[in-house]
Amino acid sequence: MPRCFLGLGGNIGDVRQTFAIVLSDLASLGEPLKVVQASRIYRTLPVGEDAGGEFRNAAIEVETDLSPHKLLALLQSLERAHGRNRDVRWSPRPLDIDLILYGDQIVSGSRLQIPHPACWYRRFVLDPLIEIAADVIHPVRRVTIGKLHARLLAQPFRLGLAGGNEPLQSRIANALRDQFPQIAVNEWNAEKGAQELQPTIIAWLGSEEASASTTSGWDSLPRVSRLNIPPNVDDLCEYLSDVLRSATDRPEPVGMLTVDE
């Protein structure tokens, strides 16, 4: 059975108790799913202005014969049982269960993406995950979870901006420098990339307005650090602010994840 890793989150009610119940429910399934191990529980800051108060996060490893989509359906049924409402994105929630990794499979669909597309830069995912999966290789980034986590700890944190055009890059860079003075924000230059320190994250701003000075294409960016911003994002600065917060805010361990007897 493949090694699968789940991320747990929540910030409504007794989240630690909710996590314990979910872990117990998964363990009671028997043959189709086996709970292997769990991380500690972490206190983390919310991401997004509508997210509410601080979160609790954890990670668990399971082995299962269920297909990725059947496993997703099971996890979403557990979310609903604990009152999860998906009508508002980034809203406060009693329980969030993300399917982070399913063996070495890569799934790209409208309902399910594996690996989870944001797991490689979110500290609230990676800090718990390295406790139980540090040596597991991310099948898209092609480095271990431990190395993905270590990249986020290097100082200064560097954000590269690629694609778009010069005015767009300049506007975003200035706005982010004001918000995050501790982060180095610069244009990514593929020609200089081999000689300079590579950014922790390279944000691809798109190619429709690319100019001669921003000729680096998406495929030319280093796989381990490239971030493809969705085309439907209305506010690039707000989107990248949320990315940087989730990549730089340090989670704090606050307890163990155990199954109620």
| pLDDT band for position 241 (cuts 50, 70, 90) | very high
Model confidence at 53, in pLDDT bands (50, 70, 90)?
Answer: confident
Same domain, 97 and 192: no
Give the pLDDT of residue 213: 44
150: in domain: no
Work out the pLDDT band at 242, boundaries 50, 70, 90.
Answer: very high
The pLDDT of residue 231 is 86
Q: Which of 224, 237, 48 is nearest to 152 (CA)?
A: 224
What domain range is 206 assigned to? 158-229
99 and 171 inside one domain: no
Q: What is the mean pLDDT of the chain?
A: 89
Residue 212 has pLDDT above 60, yes or no: no
The pLDDT value recorded for residue 236 is 95
Q: What is the pLDDT of residue 259?
A: 57
pLDDT of residue 114: 97
Number of domains within the chain: 2
Q: Are residues 122 and 40 in the same domain?
A: yes
Taken in order 69, 74, 79, 84, is the CA torsion positive or negative? positive
Instruction: Establish if 43 belongs to a structural domain.
Output: yes
Whether residues 73 and 107 share a domain: the answer is yes
Looking at the structure, tell me whether residues 182 and 126 fall in a common domain.
Answer: no
Q: What is the pLDDT of residue 36?
A: 94
Q: What is the pLDDT of residues 65-119, one digit of tens each?
A: 999 999 999 999 999 998 876 655 667 889 999 999 999 999 999 889 999 999 9
DSSP letter, residue 87? S
Which span out of 17-26, 182-191, 210-219 was modeled with the highest average pLDDT? 17-26
DSSP annotation string for 140-173: TT-SBHHHHHHHHHSSS-EEEEESS-HHHHHHHH
Residues 129 and 176 in one domain: no
